[in-house]
Amino acid sequence: MENLKTYAAPLGRLFLSALFIWAGIGKLMDPAGTAGYFAHVNIPAPAVLVWIVLLVEIIGGLMVLVGFKARWAALVLAIFCVITGFGVHLPVGDLPNMTHFYKNIAIAGGLLYVFSFGAGVWSVDGPGK
């Protein structure tokens, strides 16, 4: 069982970070389209915020992936997930968006584990940091 923990932490970081890296790169490929979506869901200053969001997603995702300052990157991404969940995915009566809301909350929970216990082995930070 202890050997399984060796592989679980980096695999968990990979699974958590992949979503953010993929989403950030997607925004980078079409920032104008993303800004249009942001405007559609009433996010203020969409043309500016799209760049902030994609940087948070890509840089934060990469930091969690390699385990560099992973606790703090995970905390930032967890807060980002909660804000996104409540700010974008919580319209009452929209079942598909409610699914996205709960996924954001679940992802935030996983990221809080990384914040609490560190990146684990096979990380730049090393175990327990």
Question: What are the pLDDT digits (tens) for 69-86?
Answer: 999 999 999 999 999 999
Q: Please list, in sequence order, all residues whose beta carbon lies within 8 angstroms of the beta carbon of residue 47, skipping any fewer than 6 positions away.
A: 35
pLDDT computed for residue 112 by the predictor = 97
pLDDT computed for residue 128 by the predictor = 66
Full-model pTM: 0.92
Tokens of 93: 């009566």
Low-confidence ranges of the chain (pLDDT < 70): 128-129
